[in-house]
Amino acid sequence: MYIGIDLGGTNIAAGLVGDNGTILIKGSVPTMRQRPTEEIIKDMAELAKKLMSEYGTDISEIKAVGIGCPGTINFETGEVVYANNIKMDHYPLAQTFRKYLDLPVKVDNDANCAAMGEYISTGNGVDSFLFVTLGTGVGGGLVLNGKIFRGFNGAAGEVGHMTLVSGGEVCSCGKTGCWEAYASVTALIRQTKAAMEAHPDSLMNKIAKNVGKVSGRTAFEAAKQGDEVGKSVVEQYVRYIADGIVSCENFMQPEIIAIGGGISREGNYLMNPIREYASVKGYNRFMPKSKIITAKLFNDAGIVGAAMIAQGSFA
């Protein structure tokens, strides 16, 4: 049995995870990210202990703990080299955690953990598996031969910061034209607002007014109700996603590409045009094609993946 912890900017989520990747029990507490980091770490350990107690598990039954954390992680040492959302700079996360719960600990980037979770859940043991998450940003992780591919420095997998429009929109990373600046939910909201302003009579304006805000759903909802401007926003947004997916495919040809994040809940309304674009525009015309699927675990992916990365390191 393993413990998987997903340290997010809003909540700490954790679970006991069986050797096969099944969540046995899970729970969460608020991160309150402005407080001293060690208090957050202590709460992570307390949450883990609470779950063990609730499930009637002794510490001797837990083989290791995996922690998914945003930012740049030194996977070997368990140090958070840099994180922005929860302020950490060369912070010894693994070491600090063990002060409160003394078990073998592995820390990895949160997107890597989510990728591993989805791989365990939907990857069926394929040799190559790419997970892409479309949320506030665009993140991802690549699983080769059952292991996260980290590059030579541990920093690989930042698919959201591949250039999609050279010289285009400024990205939060400081570069221009990143995929994230076009295919994230943040980007979709920006695109929706621009279209609403240019077309005040679009149904999107009415929907946003009813709900009280513009969200990642506004354009999709209007499009589904037949609004032409909404349709064109969705069409262009889906094209941005598909163009980046095909970039990944042409470079790496993973057997499965799984798309997750909030937007993936749009299901086949989103996925079918992506699959169609990849089928027509992918460079490879003569060999089998990457299978493009919807991710399944949503918020549980980080818990499962962190636990399974710990398993891979200590088993």
Tell me which stretch binds a second copy (CB under 8 A): 11-19, 50-58, 147-155, 267-275.
147-155
Residue 294, token pair as written in the block: 């919807």
Q: Which is nearer to a second copy, 247 or 299 (CB)?
A: 247
Phi, psi of 183 (to 5 degrees): -115, 0
Residue 263, token pair as written in the block: 């937007």
247 binds a second copy (CB under 8 A): yes
- Selected from 164, 259, 306, 308, the binder of a second copy by CB under 8 A is 164
Beta-carbon contacts of 299 under 8 Å, excluding residues fewer than 6 positions away, are: 6, 13
Q: What is the DSSP string of 224-239?
A: HTT-HHHHHHHHHHHH
Which whole-number Å values give the CA distances from 222 to 182, 215, 218, 270, in the listed order?
20, 12, 6, 14
Q: Least distance in Å: CB of 151 to a second copy?
A: 3
Beta bridge partners of 105: 65
Q: Least distance in Å: CB of 224 to a second copy?
A: 24
173 binds a second copy (CB under 8 A): yes
23 binds a second copy (CB under 8 A): no
CB 80 within 8 A of CB 88: yes
CB 198 within 8 A of CB 232: no
Angle, vertex CA 74, rays to CA 35 and CA 253, nearest 5: 115
Q: Which is nearer to a second copy, 227 or 249 (CB)?
A: 249
72 binds a second copy (CB under 8 A): yes
d(CA 260, CA 279): 20
| Count of residues that bind a second copy according to CB under 8 A | 55
Q: Least distance in Å: CB of 145 to a second copy?
A: 10
234 binds a second copy (CB under 8 A): no
85 binds a second copy (CB under 8 A): no
d(CA 54, CA 95): 25
Q: How many CB atoms lie within 10 A of CB 21?
A: 19
- Selected from 240, 258, 295, 311, the binder of a second copy by CB under 8 A is 240
290 binds a second copy (CB under 8 A): yes
Tell me which stretch binds a second copy (CB under 8 A): 174-182, 198-206, 221-229, 267-275.
174-182
d(CA 133, CA 70): 14
243 binds a second copy (CB under 8 A): yes
254 binds a second copy (CB under 8 A): yes
Question: Comparing C-alpha atoms, which of 299, 248, 287 is closest to residue 130?
Answer: 248
User: What part of residues 258-287 is at the interface with a second copy (CB under 8 A)?
Assistant: 280-281, 283-287
- Selected from 20, 34, 60, 153, the binder of a second copy by CB under 8 A is 153
82 binds a second copy (CB under 8 A): yes
155 binds a second copy (CB under 8 A): yes
CB 305 within 8 A of CB 67: no
Interface with a second copy (CB under 8 A): 72, 74, 81-82, 126-128, 142, 144, 149-159, 161-167, 173-175, 177, 182, 239-240, 243-244, 246-248, 250-255, 280-281, 283-290
